[in-house]
Amino acid sequence: FESAIPSSAMRWGVGTPVWVYDEGPEVFVDGRIVHDDPLVIETSRGLLEGVSEELVYKALTFGFGASDACQLADLSDPCLLLNLEKRYCSQEPGGVYTWVGAILTAVNPYKRLPIYGEDSMHSFKMAKTSVQSSPHPYAVAAQAFRQMMRSKTKQGILVSGESGAGKTETAKYVMQYLAAKSGDGVEKRVLGTNPILEGFGNAKTIWNDNSSRFGKLLRLHFDHGHLAGASVQTYLLARSRVTHVPAQERNYHAFYLLCNGLDATDPLRESLHVKPCEFFNYLRSPVQHDGQLYQADADFLTQLRGAFASLGVAPEQEQDIFRATMAVLWLGNIEFTEACNGCTLAGPAAEEAVRTAADLLELQGREGREPHEVLLSLLTETKVVDRTRPLARAKAESQRDAVARAIYVQLFDRIVAMVNRCLGSETTQAHTDIGILDIFGFENMPVNSFEQLCINFANEKLHQFFLEQVIIQEQVAYRHEGIQIVEVTPKDNTPIISLLAGDGGIFDVLNGFTADALRLVLVDHQSQQSGEKFCRRLHDQSEHKAPDVCSEASNLLAVPKSHAGKPGRREQHFEIRHTAETVVYTAADFIEKNKDDDATVSEILALSKLPTVHRAPLDGAQARGRGAKCIAGKFVRQVQDLMGELSESSCHYIRCIKPNDRKKPGVIERRKVYQQLKVSGMFELLVLMTQAYPTRMPYRDLMDRYGPLLDSSTRSALGDGAPAERLLVEIILGQLQADRFTGIGVEGIAADDYALGTSKVFFKAGKVESLEDLRDLCTTDPEQASGVAAVIGSEIRRRRIARVKSLFRTVMLLGRRVRARRATARIANMVARVSTASRCARHWTARTIVGYRMRRNAAIQIQRVARGVRARRCAAVLRSRLRAAVAIQAALRGAAARLRVQHARAQRCAVVKMQGCVRVWQARRKLQTLRACRADADRRAQHRAEQEARAARAAADATAAALRRKEESAKRRVAQRAQEEAAREEARRQSLENARRQADAARARAVQEAEMATSGGPRPKKKRTAEQIFSPLHDKENGRLIIDPEGSARRARAIGRALQKSNSARKSLAQNTRGILEQHGLYGVSVHHQGTTAPSEDSDEVSRVLTFCFSSDEELEDLGHEVVCTAPSAIARPCVSGHRRDSGVVPRRVTVAPGTGNSSGRGESPTKKRRTFIPGPRKGATTGQPLPEFGHR
């Protein structure tokens, strides 16, 4: 609606107290206008400038706490909210209920109230109308019953609200009142349906300890005012809760009743395989609940079994229901693990779960296999065309959960059917019944899925129906009172309904994807891809305006702004702008939740012999159609049928409100209550009230309030009865309209501010204040009261005199009219006679003219027939002559044509024969020419081959000569290189001789130093290093480190003796030697000998020390060791050399053999052992350094 509340806040003036809408928890904050142009408001939070006038309401300080919100002086959003808060927080027990017109609002008290029972029922039964009753569910039920009995039509009571608002309890009170009008135990059976449906359809949630997870329509059938039977219809059971329990919540009550409620000695525990709740996977929540329960499980189970007994359910049927319930729990304990080909059971516990579930379901074996084997194969395998394919672990678990959900839904449907049979719904009449609809309210969760989309679709339909019905009822009431009002049309939410359930809408697209998934038996990743495709399809509709969806509906579908720039999340979410608010939906599992039953589920249900689970396979007609196996399609049809039933009923509404999320009595959260009132359409109802006349007062009530002010003479002049009451009200309002009381401080009213009906007076919003001010003034001030009474009395007497005069004038007017009517009757008689004569004349004239016209028409018809006969005869003669001429011409033309054809054929044959002779002669000539050309070509080819052979022999001779010249040049180069190598070898020999002479000089100096040290007494010990042991020389040409073994023999023997005595000295020497070599980038050493004689003992000693320096852990043995290193392949003479790490040469082995003198070192001693040592790179060694020249000269 467009708001009818005047939003011109400036007319209130500066200093007017107001309420300003705020986004905080208080919703409306108190303020005061400090400037009216522009509008500036002072609040407790500071000055507010530029506030929209639509968010400002005039503040009221009186009138709150009214049982009917329409009695408030101002029907605005804050007034309704504060009135509900005032009544809820008061100590009055019935303050939780408030009328808003004909709508009852019920705020959940979260405690038991003493306003229910037989005494309360009796008081409501005595009331004739709901206006005379205090707000209460009994009042709504009583009003529905009275209308049913008067009109003999169906009635409906719609109880709506979000989860935790108290819908279930409110519906119970309505049912309790109506069931009291029964006999023969029907009341007990009807009330016994509550614990049964609550046990299997309710669960504990974070908002409510006994939350209904399905919609319910209970129809009570009456026969002559007595309850004769009932029927139950359910909508959209939340099947996903069976296998996945949200955090801090519980699964359906029935599971816990069996696990916790059965006594340890009860034989059902063993037959049903009952275990503790912690044993079953389906009863485990990610976060445990607070422990607060709606009712103890044992007490609830006792009440449930009592309800079964009251309905006449046999113990065998009750046990079958419990068996199916436990079978669902055991299915959840079937766990799988990955295998090389598909999956297999996770262990002995899973195998036990399979056997127990098959036993509880009473499955039948087939093809020689046991029931548990059949169940396992159905869960882990799937049929694709004509073969069986194993399923992966994730797909098998999904298949298991689908079977568990289907079994529980089938069980719930069978329980509802059993309840309907026990209530006798098939034998009652449908035209005298009252339906109680307990339906879910609008939901916007942190994560919204398929269930929320279906629930919000149902609320859109119910919201549309609610507004239409309320407006229609209001307009009927105005027409009944004879008041003309402007027709009001509610906001149309048809586009959002078309977007959801229309052709090409969301449900239609979802059913298409679901049907494809069921037909193709998609695996997990393919199913996820289908969900993303479904979401992309919706995004295309919103962005590109799909042609099959209207543009207005496409504007209601969008990509969430928070996910628009995130491709990974964009493909999983879509946004719908509902009538109440915008909701973001997560479409990841829409397709899985929309599946009703696939082939595996249907097969398991068909194999079960348990009556509460068994279901025959669907035939082709039932399974045909796009939405036949889709929950969305079935739910849309159910909602449409529900709307059809409600449209045939006269509906009454109860709006349940949840005051807070903490479940505490006496605490109301304004923001939460405001949101619920907005979603339920209560503010829109207020707008409707402001457009019409929401405040209504019967004439009798005003007579009782103002009648005592009049004196006896005035009351006698006024008279009694309904006309006198209406006259008094009309006089008072007329005086207010004429501003007769403005002098005493009572503001007047306009003529369009009220309307007089047949039994009551209607006021627009806030216009009853003048009447109330006048009454308050008369009550507090007797002088003013007498003045008001005098004004009213004078007007009454004036009206009475005027009425007498009007009656006299009426009598005189009636006399004149009687005489006028007599004269008019005489004139009318004469006019009638003249009219009769003229009518007869017209009839005679018409008959004469008709005879002439008939004769003329007959003559014309005869002439037409004669002309037609003559024309047809002439045409026949002409056609016969034409056919003869055509036949003659055809014969002549045929003969001429045949002669021409014969002549042409003869000429053609002669030409063909002549052409054949010419072609034969030409072919012979051409053959002779071709033979001569072929012989000439053979001669030319032979000559060409001979020329090519001679050229090849000449080329071969030239190539051989060139090769001989190259070979001679190569021999000359080899000889030259040999001479150069000999020169280089001579230079190397000279350098070695110089090194030997230097070593001899160094040895002599060492001996001299030793003798001096011996003669001078004991000398101090010195740390010997690798440079003190050996006298290395740097061979720049070959990049080697050369050591003279004979020059270092004495130092080597001294060090060898020290090494034999001390292990620590041996290790120190090895470490120092390795360090020196690694500092110069050397990683190996080779021992070679120069000369032609065998190595001497000195060289053997050097070999032992060098080899030990690179040994890892033990002493070397005698001489004759083999030292392996990575020596360059270019080494031509024996030497002791170190090599760099980056030399890039191939390692080779050099052998040191014992001997004496300067030998070549190429021989080996057959009596000495070999030891091989391959030194590795040392940590911290540097590579690529140039070798310095060091050693003794």
d(CA 257, CA 325): 10
* Collapsed DSSP state (helix, strand, coil) of residue 584: strand
d(CA 1176, CA 705): 119
The count of residues in the chain is 1193
Taking each helix axis as running N to C, give the angle between helix 315-332 and helix 297-310, from 0 to 180 degrees, rounded to the nearest 10.
140
- Supply the pLDDT for residue 691: 66
For the chain, the straight-line distance linking the first and the last C-alpha, in angstroms and rounded, comes to 116
Helix or strand holding residue 234 (H, E) = strand 226-235
Q: How far is CA 650 from CA 167, 243, 472, in A?
A: 20, 40, 11
**pLDDT range class, residue 748, cuts 50, 70, 90:** confident
Is the pLDDT confidence value at 913 over 60?
yes
- State pLDDT tens for residues 685-709: 776 666 677 677 788 877 887 778 7
- Choose the weakest-confidence range: 28-32, 341-345, 634-638, 1072-1076: 1072-1076
Is the pLDDT confidence value at 1146 over 50?
no
Mean pLDDT of 118-140: 77
**pLDDT range class, residue 528, cuts 50, 70, 90:** low
Write the single-letter amino acid at 339: A
Q: How far is CA 169 from CA 116, 155, 208, 209, 620, in A?
A: 12, 20, 12, 12, 43
- State pLDDT tens for residues 784-807: 888 888 888 888 888 888 878 888
d(CA 1159, CA 176): 127
Task: DSSP letter for 611, please.
Answer: T
Q: What is the dihedral of CA 466, 469, 475, 479, to 10 degrees?
A: -150
Is the pLDDT confidence value at 1082 over 60?
no
Q: Enumerate the β-bridge partners of residue 33.
A: 41
Nearby residues of 868 by Cβ (< 8 Å), 6 or more positions away: none
- Supply the pLDDT for residue 322: 94
**pLDDT range class, residue 829, cuts 50, 70, 90:** confident
SS3 content of the chain, % helix, strand, coil (to 5): 55, 15, 30
Q: Exposed (0-12), middle (13-18) or buried (19+): which is 887, by Cβ within 10 Å?
A: exposed
Q: Enumerate the β-bridge partners of residue 1148.
A: 1125, 1126
* Collapsed DSSP state (helix, strand, coil) of residue 558: strand
Beta strand segments in 22-81, E: 28-36, 39-43, 46-49, 56-58
Average pLDDT of the chain is: 77
CA angle 957, 961, 964 (to 5 degrees): 140
Q: Percent of the chain having pLDDT more than 90? A: 15
d(CA 252, CA 197): 11
**Strands 760-763 and 754-756, bridge-based pairing:** antiparallel
* More confident: 1131 or 374: 374
Query: 217 φ, ψ to 5°?
Result: -120, 110
> Residues 230, 174: contact at Cβ < 8 Å?
no
- Supply the pLDDT for residue 6: 40
Mean pLDDT of 863-888: 90
- Choose the weakest-confidence range: 23-27, 504-508, 966-970, 1098-1102: 1098-1102
Mean pLDDT of 240-247: 87
- Choose the weakest-confidence range: 244-258, 319-333, 605-619, 1178-1192: 1178-1192
Which residue bears the tokens 């979410």?
Answer: 573
Q: How far is CA 622 from CA 5, 354, 616, 626, in A?
A: 54, 31, 12, 11
- State pLDDT tens for residues 57-67: 888 877 788 88
- Supply the pLDDT for residue 1079: 60
Based on its alpha-carbon atoms, the radius of gyration of the chain, rounded to whole angstroms, reads 58
**pLDDT range class, residue 654, cuts 50, 70, 90:** very high
- Half-sphere exposure of 746 toward its Cβ, with a 13 Å CA cutoff? 27
- Choose the weakest-confidence range: 469-483, 825-839, 1132-1146: 1132-1146
Mean pLDDT of 432-460: 86
Which residue bears the tokens 């969900």?
Answer: 531
Q: How far is CA 1 from CA 6, 498, 576, in A?
A: 14, 20, 21
- Choose the weakest-confidence range: 1076-1085, 1128-1137, 1174-1183: 1128-1137
- C-alpha 104, offset from chain centre: 35
**pLDDT range class, residue 1104, cuts 50, 70, 90:** low
> Residues 85, 78: contact at Cβ < 8 Å?
no
Is the pLDDT confidence value at 431 over 80?
no
Is the pLDDT confidence value at 738 over 80?
yes
Residue 5's nearest CA partner among 39, 54, 78, 38 is 54
- Supply the pLDDT for residue 486: 64
Mean pLDDT of 1046-1056: 57
- Half-sphere exposure of 148 toward its Cβ, with a 13 Å CA cutoff? 29
Question: What's the order of all strands across the beta sheet hosting 582-586?
Answer: 557-558, 573-577, 582-586
Is the pLDDT confidence value at 1002 over 70?
yes
d(CA 1013, CA 1007): 10
> Residues 1170, 1122: contact at Cβ < 8 Å?
yes
- Supply the pLDDT for residue 712: 79
* More confident: 459 or 1112: 459
Q: Percent of the chain having pLDDT more than 70? A: 76
Q: Kindly report the pTM of this predicted structure.
A: 0.60
Nearby residues of 877 by Cβ (< 8 Å), 6 or more positions away: none
Q: How many CB atoms lie within 10 A of CB 16?
A: 17
- Supply the pLDDT for residue 133: 75
- Choose the weakest-confidence range: 878-887, 1013-1022, 1038-1047: 1038-1047
Mean pLDDT of 1178-1193: 39
**pLDDT range class, residue 971, cuts 50, 70, 90:** confident
Q: What is the DSSP string of 1119-1184?
A: S--EEEEB--TT--S---EEEEGGG----EEEE----SSSB-S----TTS--------PPTT---S
d(CA 198, CA 216): 11
